[in-house]
Every structure is written in C-alpha cells, then in structure tokens.
Chains A and B, each alone.
Chain A
Amino acid sequence: MRAAAWVAVGGLALAGAGATLLAGANPLEAAGALLRGALGGPQQIAETLVQTASLLFPALAVGFALRGGLFNIGADGQAVAGGLVAGLIGAAWPGAGGFALVAALAGGTLAGGAWGALAGVLRARFGGSEVIATLMLNVLAGLLATYLLSGPLRAPGATGPETAALPESVWLPLLMPGTRLSVALPLALALAAALQIVLRRTIYGFELRAAGLAPETARRAGIDLGAIAFSALSLSGAMAGLGGATIVTGVLHRFDPALSPGYGFIGIAVALVGGLEPARIALSAFGFAILQSGSLTLQAFAHVPKDVIVLLEGLAIVALAGRRAFVARATLPP
C-alpha cells in the first residue's frame, strides 16, 4: 500500500511535469511559481489558509458520511443552499451586527442540512442511491438559487443572481487585517476536532462506523441503518452548508451561485487523502489548498494554464479511487 501510494504520487508528479512541458514551461520553475504563489509571503499564506477553510468544510462533510458508508457528492449543492440562506439573512438585517452573523451561519448550516436530509430521506425511506440523489440535488440547488435571486428575491439593482453585498457588520471577523483570512479557519478546525471526538468517543460515532464497515453486522446488532443514513447525510449536508455560509460571510461578502467551484468534488480527494480521519483531513486540506492558491501564479508567472491543477486533481481522485477505504458502501441494503 505504501509503495502504491509512492507510485501514485510519482505518477502525478510526472503527469504535472509532462503537462508543464507541453505548455512550454520548465517544470521546476513552474513548481517554484506554484509554491511562491501559495507560500511566498504572509499575504500568500493567508490566502492559502482561506482556501484551506473553504476546502475543509466539504472534505469533512464527505469524510464523515463516508465513515458511515454513505457517499455525499452533493457538498457543492449543500454549500449553495447554505450560502444562499446565509446571504439572505445577512443582507436582510444590516443593523443587527453580531446577531445577524450568528443567524446567518446557523441558517446556512440548517439549509445545508435540509438539502442533505432530502438525499437522506430518499436513501433511508425509499432505498434510492444517495450518490445519484446528491448529484441531482447539486444542480437543483443552483437552479433554485438562480430562480430565487433573479425572480422573487431579486436584490435591487442586481445584474446577476446575487444577493446585495453584505454590510460589514455581518462579515466574519478577520484574523489578519489586510487579508481575507477570517475565523472560518478556526471554525473549520474546531469542527474537525469535534468530529474526531464524535467518531471515536460517542455511541453515535461507533454506530456510524459500524454501519460503514459492516452494515449487515451492524443491522443485526440492532443499529437502525435507515436512521444512520438519514442523520449522517443531514449532518454532512449541515457541515457543507456551514462551509457555504462562511464563504458568503467571510470571503465573498455576498451570495453568488458559483461560490463553491468544485470544492465538493475536490473535497472527496481531500477526505480520501486524509484517510477519512478528521485531523488528517485538515492537513490534507492544507496540501490541496497550496495547489489551489498556487494555480494563479502558475498561470501568471510560469505561463502554464491554471486548469492544469484541475487536471491533476482529477487524476489524483482517480488514483485514490483504488483505495479501499469504503468497501462496504455498495452492499448497504436498501
């Protein structure tokens, strides 16, 4: 397994080098540009940490559900649902300050949870595949947000499907003035720590892991697989929804349907690299964030199209698919 991991990393590095050569750049210079862009100074590191937080929420969401043998590939849609509600709440009460911020985050969490719960009901009550359900709900979240913001809830003077800009009183407090680094990161890390405890030290965490590792055994031991599926997908959606809410209140300061550009899918890779362990997922999110935030300097200074990072992340996900971290999933009885 170790050897396979090194082969995968080596293969990805070769693919990256090949792609850079194809773009007419020197791979070493390109790697240098990427690292400078991600870690070259306080400003760059802050931006990488912003990306870390944005990736960590969906990654924790995916990882948590997967521990229960459930595949949530709808973190993007749940982030949109959460971000939309957070944006609407934040824009609605400009004078309420801290209260509005907390309400926005809570509303976003609930909305994401509700979006995840839809897939949970389908799985628990009707035995429908949560994979397909969350995939469909991704698109539906985007359509619903676009409809609401271009129709009934259109912000005055808006040109696109966006909420009005949020007043500064509902922005997440900054950790580093002059950057976009906000308390979203400590919030995400606290969530990771909480999940670590829930998974290792609580009865619910035990039941969830049992359902993921050996569904049939868990069922015979009296664990209600339907209840696990519903609760795990709802909680997973809530985490992704909170992530969307932090992007709206901490990064964009308004709602935009494109707030989660594939974070949900990359989150799968982040969660798998982290071995589905919350603490290690946090480290893995930082690694992927380096790629994300370095991709812009890669394009600007080494003239390698930034999508090479997307290409490599795709290959990484394919390579990770070979890891049998979730063999029990397919046999979860309907």
Chain B
Amino acid sequence: MNEALAGLASFATLALIKAAPIAFAALGGVLCERSGVVDVALEGQLAAGAFTAVVVSAASGNPLLGLAAGIAAGALLGYALGLAATRFGADQIVAGIGLNVFALGACAFGLVLVFGREGTSDEVHALGNRGEAALILAGFGCAAALHALFYASPWGLRVRACAENPAAVRDAGLDPGRMRRLACTAGGALAGLGGVFLALAELDLYSDGMTAGRGFIALAAVIFGGWTPLGAAAASLVFGALSALQFGLQRSGIPSEAMQALPYLAALAALAGWTGRARAPQADGVPEERRFD
C-alpha cells in the first residue's frame, strides 16, 4: 500500500517536473496568441532562456541572476517577434520560424564561445530542489494569474480584443500594436522562464537540443487547451504526465514513441475540431493595420 503511494507520489513529482517547462511556454504562447500574434517561436524562446540562464549562472555563480537573465532573454525574443509582427508588418509565422532558427543557432554558437566545446556546457550552480518546487508552484500561480488577468481585468479584455478585432481596439482609442508587443514580450518572458526551469531546475547545464521540441508540445498544449490559460496549463499537465509515464512503461511493450506522439496527435485532433471548441482567436495572425471583415 505504502509502496503504491510512494510510487504514485514519485510519478506525480516526475509529471510535474516534465509539465513545468511546457506549461510556462504554453502560458506564454496563450498570452501571445490571445493578443493576435501566432507564436511558433516558443522553441527558440525556451532555448534562449535555458542557455542565457546557464551562461549567467556560470559567470556570476548565482543561479538567481541566471533565472532573471533567462527570463530577459525570452522576453527579448518575444519583443522581437512582437516588433516584427506589428511595426514591420512581417509575416508572423516566417518571423517566428526565423527566430527559432536564429535562437538555436545562436545558442549553439554561444556554447562554443563561452564553454569552448560543442554540445554541452559545464555544470553550473542550479536552483536546487527547493527552487524547482518554488518554480512549479509559480507555474500554477502564473496560470491562475493569467486567467484572472484575461477575464477579470480591463487590460485582459483589451488584449483579447486585439486578437479578435484589432480595428475596434483602435477605434476605442487604444494602440493594438503596442498591446501586442507588450503581450509578446510578457509571453516570451514566460517561455524564457520555462527554459530556465529546464536548465537550472530540472538539470544544471545547457546542451544543444535540450529543448527537444518542447516548444512545439507547448504550442500543441495551447491549441488543445483551447487558447485559454487554464486549458493550456491542464493540457501541459496531461502532456507532462504522458512524458512521465514513458519511464514507467519502458518495459511494458508500449513503444515510447507512441506516448511521445500523443500530444501532437491531440493537437491535430483539436485542430480538426474533434475536441469541441478549439478555435484560434478570429484575428490571430492577422496584421493589425488590416481590416478584418
């Protein structure tokens, strides 16, 4: 009995650890998409957050500075996406893909410059178990806060309006471009925090490819969660549990690839409308200066 409980507890812990970076990135994605900017750059923001956190922690010996720097790096990439999407009227998907490629290339490049070798950084001062637990709690907090912000504050209403009808937001005397840039920056910061969790909480180093498609799983969580903070957080928990289950099922004959595939299949099903209300905001991906009618 106790053994079963202990097993369950360790499974739940592992699931939370696996879910946390996905959840941070997914919440960032929700924030960005609900302002009307399609965020395919989550993968790059995760990598940038992880890499910057490790470099700064290595340089300063203080993981908290690393945490702050990782968040800042994610925010910077988010701002770049927002800027491209609004001021330069760039295609958001192309810009997002470009930022992904750029971030992954820059991290690999920086890794060689800073640590003098390809592949993996040195082990650095990390946040430890207590930091890990605190960040997981913060993840739940972020989901609740974002929900409250979206549905119980004027600011949230305005941001969401930018993704539904930016022209109306402009007519109401607000600047939808500015709102989108702000939302993208904050969303990037959240995704950067997800990267920090990967590098300084779950592990204590950066290695090339460590994000391993989590940014795309997060995007799947955004869609499967119906573009809502609580939905995306719940989807991230499910995906985290699936990921934890892989370790338990290794000897059961169920191929681990099948478990890994489930988040993506869930997102495709949601896209096809099989899970009900998953629909992108009306003007998601539409440059704001164009009338949407």
Interface of A with B (CB < 8 Å)?
19, 22-23, 71, 73, 122, 125-129, 131-133, 135-140, 143-144, 146-147, 151, 262, 265-266, 268-269, 272, 305, 307-324, 326, 329-331
- Minimum CB–CB distance from A292 to chain B (whole Å) comes to 12
Evaluate whether A314 and B91 lie within 8 angstroms (CB atoms) in the complex, with A128-B272, A144-B257, A308-B105 already known: no
Partner of B93, one of A71, A147, A308, A324: A71
Contact (Cβ within 8 A) A307 B257? no
Partner of A318, one of B80, B108, B255: B80
Residue total for B at the interface (Cβ-Cβ under 8 A): 49
Could you tell me the distance between the alpha carbons of A92 and B94 in the complex, rounded to whole angstroms? 39
Residue B113 at the chain A interface, CB threshold 8 Å:
yes
Contact (Cβ within 8 A) A318 B109? no
Q: Classify the interface of chain B: helix, strand, loop or mixed.
A: helix
Closest to A318 in B: B98
Partner of A265, one of B101, B108, B260: B101
- How many pairs, one residue from A and one from B, have CB atoms within 8 Å of each other in the complex? 150
Could you tell me the distance between the alpha carbons of A140 and B113 in the complex, rounded to whole angstroms? 34
- Minimum CB–CB distance from B76 to chain A (whole Å) comes to 13
Partner of B95, one of A139, A151, A321, A326: A321
Could you tell me the distance between the alpha carbons of A310 and B257 in the complex, rounded to whole angstroms? 28
Which of B56-64, B166-174, B236-244, B263-271 lies on the face that meets chain A?
B263-271
Identify which of residues 205-256 in chain B touch chain A, using a CB-to-CB cut-off of 8 Å: 213, 216, 219-220, 223, 255
Closest to B280 in A: A129
Contact (Cβ within 8 A) B97 A143? no
27 inter-chain pairs at a CB distance below 8 angstroms, sorted by A residue, are A128-B272, A132-B267, A136-B267, A137-B268, A139-B213, A140-B264, A143-B264, A265-B97, A268-B94, A268-B97, A305-B113, A310-B101, A310-B104, A310-B105, A310-B109, A311-B109, A313-B102, A313-B105, A314-B101, A314-B103, A317-B97, A318-B94, A318-B95, A318-B98, A318-B99, A321-B94, A329-B91
- Minimum CB–CB distance from A155 to chain B (whole Å) comes to 17
Residue B46 at the chain A interface, CB threshold 8 Å:
no
- Minimum CB–CB distance from A136 to chain B (whole Å) comes to 4
Partner of B286, one of A71, A128, A331: A331
Could you tell me the distance between the alpha carbons of A127 and B273 in the complex, rounded to whole angstroms? 9
Contact (Cβ within 8 A) A128 B113? no
Could you tell me the distance between the alpha carbons of A310 and B88 in the complex, rounded to whole angstroms? 23
Could you tell me the distance between the alpha carbons of A247 and B275 in the complex, rounded to whole angstroms? 38
Q: Kindly list chain A residues whose C-beta atoms are within 8 Å of the C-beta of B219.
A: 132, 135
Q: Classify the interface of chain A: helix, strand, loop or mixed.
A: helix
Closest to B105 in A: A310
Contact (Cβ within 8 A) A315 B220? no
- Minimum CB–CB distance from B231 to chain A (whole Å) comes to 16
Could you tell me the distance between the alpha carbons of A272 and B112 in the complex, rounded to whole angstroms? 31
Partner of A135, one of B40, B99, B112, B292: B40
Of A132, A147, A311, A315, most B-chain CB atoms within 10 Å: A132
Contact (Cβ within 8 A) B89 A310? no
Residue B118 at the chain A interface, CB threshold 8 Å:
yes
Partner of B261, one of A73, A135, A140, A321: A140
Contact (Cβ within 8 A) A326 B105? no
Interface flags, B34-74, vs A, CB<8A=1, else 0:
00001010000000000000000000000000000000000
Partner of B109, one of A308, A326, A330: A308
Closest to A130 in B: B271
Could you tell me the distance between the alpha carbons of A137 and B94 in the complex, rounded to whole angstroms? 18
